[in-house]
Structure 1
Amino acid sequence: MTSTYRLPTSPDQRVAVVTGASSGIGEATARALAAAGYRVVLGARRVDLLERIAAEIGGVALALDVTDDASVAAFADQVSRCDLLVNNAGGALGADSVADANLDDWQWMYDVNVLGTVRMIRALLPILEASDDAQVINIGSVAAREPYRGGAGYNAAKHAVAALTRVLRIELLGKPVRVCEIDPGMVQTDFSLVRFKGDQDRADAVYAGVDPLRAEDVADAVTWVATRPARVNIDQILMLARDQSSAQVIHRREA
């Protein structure tokens, strides 16, 4: 059973919603925002993990599947205030070329990365606009900046996320909602394990000999953006590990 949403402990406490908050960048972001003073509403499918994290940070755990209209609607119905929406839920499946595309994988990537982000923005925009200073932060990827071999479906999805983020910035100009796109490069989370459908050896090889970003590094960037003065909009951030200069140019140390 999910927790019931509770109002902030004081009218001045700001509320952040973080999707995909059960692990990785989402979990780290929820923890960082709570430490910065936000009341955090955590959303994801794995409610058992969410509830543990929420209990540790004084947040609220709510079941959420961003690919499901009814789930998003039920989630939004339980949120009465939102000053910050972090659209983190997403992921990649496979490394097929366009010619060999698994359309089920492409459909899932588009649904979770693109339409999931749209669903959350559409559902929460009215209460974001009701805030005196709200923000939408979309977690993109270097894949949104630079197509690379083996990333066709994910490239297409994250390019779409970048496009919708930038048009949202235009659409909300003059309203009290800031919009930011944060595009990380290689981050050591379960991302590659999901991409390679549980193949641990293949996932481990992605990070072999590299000191990649950590989830906490991206969470730090989110928190920095979220705590800028209302007059400041950080439109885009591209963040890479020192060992990575572009999507597939990576320095690997010998074992």
Structure 2
Amino acid sequence: MSGLSVRNLWKAYPSAESKDDVLVALEDVSLEVREGEFVCVLGPSGCGKSTLLRIAAGLEKPSLGTVETPSRPSVVFQEHGVFPWLTVAENIAYPLRLRRVPRAQRAARVAELLDLVGLTEFASYYPAQISGGMRQRTSVARALADDGSVLLMDEPFGALDEQTRVVLQQELLRIWEQTSKAVLFITHSVDEALTLADRVVVMSHRPGRIIAEVEIPFGRPRDIIALRRDPRYGEITYQLWNLLERDDAARDDDEEVAA
């Protein structure tokens, strides 16, 4: 197989209020990310998006269900997980060192990735000496060095300012178009999902369920600034917000009935 396959995934945690109760984070989630496809998972805070990604990454075990991928995925988290005691180049090289890639081959791959993410002139800098956007580029390059068939990204640009976020979204699309990896990208931003994805998976409030999948019709490559002038952009934005608002209203109705 290629890409990522999630089947009938459930995740429950022990309740903090009662040892006899559980908190259900994910409820019967199934999705596919095909080879070369960019899928965004969109949903409100606390809906289980990050839990889904952590299970897909093998960092948590599901309560029920399966996750299948042909190789270990590469992961980029919201907090740029770079090692402060290593330079940019050394951070990117880290997964290659773990795999015992020969020195010359490792150096060539690091040079290639530095060029890909636009950090060649900052190779010898330490994380404290570069911007947050550059640190996140370093995280992306290190994930690519890890060379999993699937790239998992958990709101990687959420902590950045708007201008830096747009620049890195465009950079991510450029890099993705060159690598053709399957990408599962977690976001709570309708705009970000619409900008990046081939397909948007919309999740409900907790327990997280998939309530819709929306195909995004814009072609590749994309200019994410010009994209906003397309009349379909506003139409799909409304569609996604409407899905989220309907779920929010349904949750309020359930809480009133329960009360």
Q: Relative contact order, CA 8 A, sep 6+: which one is greater? A: 2
Q: Same fold (TM over 0.5)?
A: no
Q: Which has the larger radius of gyration?
A: 2
TM-score where L is the length of structure 1: 0.32
* Higher strand proportion (structure 1 or 2): 2
TM-score where L is the length of structure 2: 0.32
